[in-house]
Amino acid sequence: MAKHIQILVIGGGTGGIMVSAQLKRKAPELQVAIVEPSDKHKYQPAWTLVGAGNYAMQKTIRKEADFIPDGVEWIQSYAAELQPDTNTVVLGDGNRVTYDYLVLSPGLVMDLDALPGLKESLDKGLVCSNYTDPEHTWEVLRNFKGGNAVFTQPGTPIKCGGAPQKIMYLAEHYFRKKGIRDKTNVVFATPGSVIFGVKEFARPLNKIIHDRDILFKPYYLPVRIDAENQIIYFKYAEPGDNACVITENNKIQESIVGDSEIAMPFDMLHLAPPQAAPEFVRNSPLAFQDGPSKGWVSVDIHSLQHTKYDNVFAVGDVAALPTAKTGAAIRKQAPVVVAHLVTLIKTGKLSTKKYDGYSSCPLVTGYGKMLLAEFKYNNVRDSDPLLSKFFNLTKPSWFMWILKRYVLPYLYWTKMLRGKM
């Protein structure tokens, strides 16, 4: 016989813990359980700093048991199948759990097979990623002696879309401190058309790129890696254009292959791997089955309620939302879902709370400098009004670096995961 839970939360990461903690604070009588297989909880926003040798990896990992809220049952297993027509989740061990309400927050997974050559080369020498092993990134930076330092990202949605350029800025600064910048080409290649989607923050970033002689390559979609010959291949992805022009006197020695591919040599390569929703989500009725959001959970972008199943909500990376996948976004999403659940249980209706797409990207632009980019749906700037009174939030500053380095980790462990903010 299946176990029954009033509110079942899938995922014990940022979203799952925050929703559970806030639910128990707001309505202690609710029966809540979290499905989470890992006994470790990881603070991934600090991995950018780990990759630059400025933060200890062990400080980003704590015991999951320490953050399961009081009164919440921890089902230490993983979800294998979602059956929303019968309000059932099948666990990895074959056991079943039924629910009145379901909150999906399992995060996303690295899809290494989506980029040929990545699995064979990642974290084994010159190819590194803060998304998988930031300590290896730091090792690669320390061993780098000059040449092409290439930083890139995939065409899939990724968690913290600014992370691939954060480590690029830090690496460029590190190369200057190490005295090898004059024999290094720093390249940032992206499938996108701009360095950042919000124009108020794009302007200072473009200035940094220009002033620090960083080679910005828009419309560059990585398609395969030849680790043995140290070459990454890109498809030139500008809409309606199958050709590309190689500029900067071609000092990075890139070449055109066929009609639209570019071969770029590298002496180190950092990238965000392609990413996807977990398989049990992609294969479920809760996910889009086609279109640009295929595989991600279909929810109303303001209520975060599923578009078909009224007793299902999604929080965080797994939700198909037109905003950045960040912990900051979850901080604003969790209270909305909690309010809806409590009100639904009491009245049968949703609350009036809405999510406006808020997210933020703490863009570290070097050791001791950070630009806090806050925005909401449609790439509209949404900077904190109080901070804006005291700081110019369109410029990198030391104060924001302190926020990133010290304040945000403290708030995460002591406030966010406790349901206090």
d(CA 200, CA 346): 43
d(CA 63, CA 303): 32
Instruction: Label residue 96 exposed, middle or buried (CB < 10 Å: 0-12, 13-18, 19+).
Output: middle
Cβ–Cβ < 8 Å for 350, 299: no
**Any idea which residues carry the catalytic annotation?**
160, 361
Cβ–Cβ < 8 Å for 315, 416: no
* Buried b or exposed e, range 248-287, using 16+ CB within 10 angstroms: eeeebebeeeeebbbbbbbbbbbbbbbbbbbebbbebebb
Give me the residues paired with residue 109 across strands. Answer: 276
Instruction: Give the C-alpha distances (Å, rounded to integers) separating 109 from 106, 240, 272, 318, 393.
Output: 9, 31, 12, 10, 32
Cβ–Cβ < 8 Å for 183, 223: no
d(CA 207, CA 185): 17
For residue 406, give the nearest of 14, 23, 45 by alpha carbon: 45
Please state, as a whole number, how many other Cβ atoms lie within 10 Å of the Cβ of residue 347: 9
Identify the residue whose tokens are 């190819």: 127
